Structure 1
Amino acid sequence: MQNNIQECFKSMSVNEKRLLILSSPLARTQDATEKDAIIITAEDFSKECGITQHSAYAQLEKASKALIKRYFSYHNDKNKKVLSNWVIDCTYESGGIAIRFPEVVLFMLKEFDKVNPYTKYKKDIILKLKKDYSFDIYHLAKKFQAMGKFEISLEDFKNELGVPDSYNDLSNLKKRVIQPSLDEITEHTDINVTYENVKSGRSVVGFRFIVKEKPKLKAIEGRDPNTVDMFCKMTDSQINTYSSILSKVHSISDLAGDKDYKAFAIWLASILRDPSSVREETAKRIFKALRTETDFKG
């Protein structure tokens, strides 16, 4: 069942995957059954995915319509083949969507967490991935992170991602699938990924991916870790990543005023660069949220 489910995931859109990722913890905490609707609001979808609320509702509706048409197969305990839909029905509320899932899908959402790649990674990382194939390449890279690199044949790579025939052209595959995904993974996640061709003669027969964990942030020596003037040396990329995460954190949302997510993230980035630019209690709140909501350990 797990293998068939993952095969089905490959063909899903980014927003279909997001919808399932957000449904998983709700299914567990609510101990949902087929009779129970899981509600994903446009507000929550917009905050988690970093998009406008208006766009969130439209994308939720489109994703749910696609999901309700999908099915997968598995063999039951009597070794009989079973076909199952992903979704029983969707009710379109004014503020979001209420979805009822079959028991077999609820089982996956609630019980497969430790092995299911679509529910085991941190939401604040994977929901930032917006390119069609970023999540699948991220999952591949994470499997081989401890080794630092892995090789995969061209055909296996295309099968793993479920790319259409339009990407049989190598330059198209690199330009539209691989490089945009790697750029997004490196910018928004906990790893840096690069790649190089594997050749047989002049022909490219596969790829070698190099996976490196981003360095952990370290506190500046000699500073009191309980004071606001304590911080760590971060790159601009790290600052941009953390400020983007913080812009969607509820505990400091009142600091945004009338700023949208992007403007609020830019303001937060300026605070991370120079905490003395705001009042001490404001900086303390931001740093507390940073430690609570991210993997920051300073």
Structure 2
Amino acid sequence: MGLDIKKHYPKDWVVLQNRVAECFRGMSLDEKRLFIMATPLARTTQVSSNDPIFISSSEFSHECGIDISTAYTSLETASDRLFTRFFGYTAENGDRIKMRWLNKVIYKVGQGGTELYFTDEVLLLLREFDALNPYTKYKKEVVLRLKKDYSLDFYHLAKKHQTMGSFQISLDELFEQLGLPESYRRIGNLKDRVIKPSLEEITENTDINLTYENIKSGRSVIGFKFIVKEKPKPKLTAPTRDTKTIDMFCNLSDAQINKYSTILSQLSELSDLSNFPDYPTFALWIGGILRDPKSVREETAKRIFKALHSKTDFKP
């Protein structure tokens, strides 16, 4: 039986099968952003190839951090271009398969948004995960804040190989997977315009550090080794307090805080608050908020306590 990906990774997670190669091949930055916004919705809903995934210009503007005045044109252009894109994978019998991501795109002028229709085979690839179909996952919000043209491609490759700690790729494979123009064949140009700015942005803005080394044959660079290291997570410790003391915000005892923080940590509507490696660490963070609501932004505290009252059996 396959893992319930929808339950474990709701719509704020990007999840793609590892056999899907060249995910963002040749895409512009806005196309990649649109793809990243749309595929989790296709994965977590029951849409078919006849049902649209709707992305509004306001959503595109907000999630990608771009001005609303340019979001309309950017979204329409990205929709048109994404329709022309394809990807490939190798079947079990060795056949190399190419297919389009979408079978139809409709830009809704009056609604200020776009409707994307994924093919049935793509929808199956987005939803089918088991031991025979390993996958790569990462938080949607992490990649949508990346602004360099190829940062998202390198981040995807890094997360795909993170458990191994590194991966190697030849020059030809790099050009094929990223759809790089031939003008980057000069190694100095490739490093200065593509590799270095992408890796610097990833290291500065995401959950991993990404560096590289040359792979040479004689004096010629024939590929690269990329080293992936997860950034250390800040250690969370619960505030020291008398275990018999009742919390004044909602009269929560320590036992209640332990119980309800565990429940809250597994709610999909709060998953966007987590950048933690597992549920227990996320629960510890929530427990700190249940003890001291003023330890975080008021908006965050309100979300936690609203979920406490509406999604659990807690009675004040």
* SS of equivalent residue, structure 1 residue 215: coil
Q: Which amino acid aligns with 1:121?
A: Y
> Is the CA contact (8 Å cut-off) linking 1:152 and 1:206 kept in structure 2?
yes
Shift of 1:199: 3.1
The aligned residue for residue 64 of structure 2 is 49
In 2, Cα distance between equivalents of 1:19 and 1:283: 31
Task: Output one character per residue of 1:38-82: Cα deviation in whole Å (capped at 9) or x when no partner.
Answer: 210111112221212222222110111112233567899xx9x88
Shift of 1:176: 0.6
Shift of 1:5: 5.3
Which of 136, 141, 154 is residue 158 of structure 2 equivalent to? Answer: 141
The aligned residue for residue 232 of structure 1 is none
Shift of 1:138: 1.4
Q: Which amino acid aligns with 1:154?
A: L
Structure 1 pair 38–160 and aligned structure 2 pair: CA distance change class (3 A): closer
The aligned residue for residue 205 of structure 1 is 222
Shift of 1:179: 0.5
Q: Which amino acid aligns with 2:233?
A: K
Q: Which amino acid aligns with 1:88?
A: K
List gaps (5 residues or longer) in structure 2.
Answer: 1-16, 242-246, 249-269, 274-292, 306-316
Q: Does 1:214 align with 2:231?
A: yes
Which of 118, 122, 136 is residue 105 of structure 1 equivalent to? Answer: 122
In 1, Cα distance between equivalents of 2:166 and 2:18: 24
Percent pairwise identity: 48
Name the stretch that deviates more: 140-149 or 179-188: 140-149
TM-score by length of 1: 0.65
| Greater RCO (Cα-Cα under 8 Å, separation 6 or more) | 2
* SS of equivalent residue, structure 1 residue 87: strand
Task: Output one character per residue of 1:221-258: Cα deviation in whole Å (capped at 9) or x when no partner.
Answer: 8656x99xxxxxxxxxxxxxxxxxxxxx9x99xxxxxx
Structure 1 pair 152–8 and aligned structure 2 pair: CA distance change class (3 A): closer
The aligned residue for residue 276 of structure 1 is none
List gaps (5 residues or longer) in structure 1.
Answer: 228-248, 253-279, 293-298
Q: Does 1:122 align with 2:135?
A: no
Name the stretch that deviates more: 175-184 or 138-147: 138-147
Structure with more helix by fraction: 1
In 1, Cα distance between equivalents of 2:176 and 2:301: 43
Which of 90, 96, 114 is residue 106 of structure 2 equivalent to? Answer: 90
In 1, Cα distance between equivalents of 2:99 and 2:239: 62
> Is the CA contact (8 Å cut-off) linking 1:16 and 1:66 kept in structure 2?
yes
> Is the CA contact (8 Å cut-off) linking 2:18 and 2:134 kept in structure 1?
no
Shift of 1:143: 3.0
* SS of equivalent residue, structure 1 residue 196: strand
* SS of equivalent residue, structure 1 residue 88: strand
Shift of 1:173: 0.1
Q: Which amino acid aligns with 2:298?
A: R
In 2, Cα distance between equivalents of 1:70 and 1:11: 8
> Is the CA contact (8 Å cut-off) linking 1:67 and 1:87 kept in structure 2?
no
Task: Output one character per residue of 1:97-149: Cα deviation in whole Å (capped at 9) or x when no partner.
Answer: 122333223333444697454xx321011212222221221122223323333
Q: Which amino acid aligns with 1:23?
A: A
> Is the CA contact (8 Å cut-off) linking 1:25 and 1:110 kept in structure 2?
no
Structure 1 pair 71–215 and aligned structure 2 pair: CA distance change class (3 A): closer
The aligned residue for residue 19 of structure 1 is 34
* SS of equivalent residue, structure 1 residue 33: coil
Structure 1 pair 16–55 and aligned structure 2 pair: CA distance change class (3 A): same
> Is the CA contact (8 Å cut-off) linking 2:138 and 2:159 kept in structure 1?
no
Structure 1 pair 140–70 and aligned structure 2 pair: CA distance change class (3 A): closer
Task: Output one character per residue of 1:180-214: Cα deviation in whole Å (capped at 9) or x when no partner.
Answer: 11011111211001122233343323323222110
TM-score by length of 2: 0.62
The aligned residue for residue 206 of structure 2 is 189
Which of 7, 25, 31 is residue 10 of structure 1 equivalent to? Answer: 25
